[in-house]
Amino acid sequence: MPIKQRRYPMKAKEAKQILEENSRKLKLNLEELFGAKSNVEVVESDIGLIYIVDGKPVLFNVENKTLPTLLFDEFTKKVPKIIVDMGAIPYVCKGATVMAPGIVRIEGEFDLGDLVLVADEKHGKALAIGESLMDSHTAEATKKGPVVKTLHYVGDKIWDYIKTV
């Protein structure tokens, strides 16, 4: 658990810049999604920065890399999904790379380096956000090897921390 924490509202200009920068990365218009007058706060902690938009933790920045949280529903609903079998869940929830044999199906299209959501086959619950190591067509055809590098997952430091914010 992080010891120090500081929470404060962002200035409108800074908030707009953060939303614009991440809109390009996420391929999702955040300013349109939340509105131009959205309330953006920052929580500084030992782990990194958490960006809270209208009371919901949607982005985090660790080691100068900003990513969406698993609680950012608008992102998790629109992003391409990698559906894994039930045997892969314990490994994904410990941060393991998603391997081709554990993939049941792929929903949506993505390119090399795009962010994808990893979900379980039984309930469709979000388990992780990762970076694709190949495009969707190659991923569907491959039978072995790594497909997604896990960046944020259920049970990691960010996951545990944002539940307390």
Per-residue pLDDT tens digits for 89-129: 999 999 999 999 999 999 999 999 999 999 999 999 999 99
Higher pLDDT, 38 or 9: 9
Q: Would 93 be classed as within a structural domain?
A: yes
φ/ψ of 146, rounded to 5, equals: -75, 145
| Lookup: tokens for 10 | 């962002």
Q: Which residue has the tokens 């045997």?
A: 87
Looking at the structure, do residues 56 and 24 belong to the same domain, yes or no?
Answer: yes
- Residue 138: which pLDDT band, with cuts at 50, 70 and 90? very high
Q: Would 164 be classed as within a structural domain?
A: no
Domain boundary among 69, 85, 111: 69
Per-residue pLDDT tens digits for 43-92: 998 889 999 999 999 999 998 899 999 999 999 999 999 999 999 999 99
For the beta sheet containing 5-9, the strands, ordered from the edge strand earlier in sequence to the opposite edge, are 5-9, 40-45, 49-53, 56-62, 65-68
Looking at the structure, do residues 31 and 94 belong to the same domain, yes or no?
Answer: no
User: Can you tell me the distance from the alpha carbon of 98 to that of 164, in angstroms, rounded to the nearest whole number?
Assistant: 28
- Residue 2: which pLDDT band, with cuts at 50, 70 and 90? very low
Looking at the structure, do residues 17 and 52 belong to the same domain, yes or no?
Answer: yes
* CATH number of 145's domain: 2.30.130.10
- Contact 60/52 with Cβ under 8 angstroms? no
Report the number of distinct structural domains present in the chain. Answer: 2
pLDDT the model gives residue 3 = 56
Q: Which residue has the tokens 């990365």?
A: 25
CA 47-48-49 angle, to 5 degrees, is: 140
- Contact 32/53 with Cβ under 8 angstroms? no
pLDDT the model gives residue 25 = 84
pTM greater than 0.85: yes
83: left (phi over 0), alpha (psi -120 to 50) or beta: beta
| Domain membership of residue 131 as a residue range | 75-159
| Lookup: tokens for 1 | 């658990």
* CATH number of 19's domain: 3.10.450.120
pLDDT the model gives residue 40 = 92
